[in-house]
Amino acid sequence: MKDQDETKEQLINELVEMRRRIAELEATDTEHKRAEKALRTQRDKLEGIIASLADGLDIVGQDYRVHFQNKLLEDRFGDLTGKLCYEGYMARQTPCEACPMVKAIATGSTQRMELTGADGREYEVTSTPFQDIDGETKVIEVVRDITERKRAVEALRREKDFAESLIETAQAIVLVLDTEGRIVRFNF
């Protein structure tokens, strides 16, 4: 009888311990679900921000391999994940001279450079170094299409040159006034 009582008591203790462990597991599971939901929310928010950018955004490693690119760059150049940036973006066989990624990593500071892409458009590439969670140094790059801006600047330069030429070759005295009525240019 004493053995049966001890066995019952032992079984009851084991049952109590099992229930305690189950409660701990359920609490841990609830915490994990809460943390997963918070992470999903943050990820969705970050993806929304990246998707809404009007500029290209990518992450490139020191080996010139693309680790991430946003939709804008993917739509324009195709999925380059794991591929060499200079081949995919620039249609080159070798890295760009004065590569902003290399310079950013070497100096530890943000670098900017204007480059002509494989698609013939002009880009301002801003490379900023950072350390990923594995401790590897990479760069995050903002890739801004400046083609239209450069075309507009060139058109303004041509118009200015044309106007200067007209002033210089005019058969009459020409005065150019600013908005305040002051002479800013003349041809005599």
Asked whether the predicted pLDDT for residue 84 surpasses 90, the reply is yes
State residue 158 phi and psi, 5-degree precision.
-65, -40
Residue 46 has pLDDT above 80, yes or no: no
**Nearest to 89, CA basis, from 101, 104, 103, 107:** 101
Task: Say yes or no to pLDDT of 1 above 70.
Answer: no
Which CATH superfamily groups domain 54-145? PAS domain (3.30.450.20)
Check residues 65 and 166 and name the one with the higher pLDDT.
Answer: 65
Higher pLDDT, 6 or 76: 76
Residue range 112-169, pLDDT digits in tens: 999 999 999 999 999 999 998 888 999 999 999 999 999 999 999 999 888 888 778 8
pLDDT at 33 over 70: yes
| Contact criterion met (CB below 8 Å) for 137 and 63 | no
pLDDT class for 73, splitting at 50, 70, 90? very high
Rg (the chain; Cα; Å): 32
pLDDT tier, 61 (very low <50, low <70, confident <90, very high otherwise): very high
The residues facing 140 across adjacent strands are 59, 128
Query: Higher pLDDT residue, 118 or 171?
Result: 118
Residue spans per domain, the chain = 1-52, 54-145, 149-186
Residue in the structure block whose two tokens are 């030429």: 165
Taking residues 54-81, report their average pLDDT: 93
| 122-131 sheet: strands from edge to edge | 66-69, 56-61, 137-145, 122-131, 111-116
- Cα–Cα dist 78/89, whole Å: 9
For residue 175, pLDDT beyond 80: no
The dihedral of CA 164, 165, 169, 170: what is its sign? Answer: negative
Length of the chain: 188
Distance in angstroms (rounded) separating the CA atoms of residues 92 and 120: 13
Please determine, for residue 78, whether its predicted confidence score (pLDDT) is greater than 90. Answer: yes
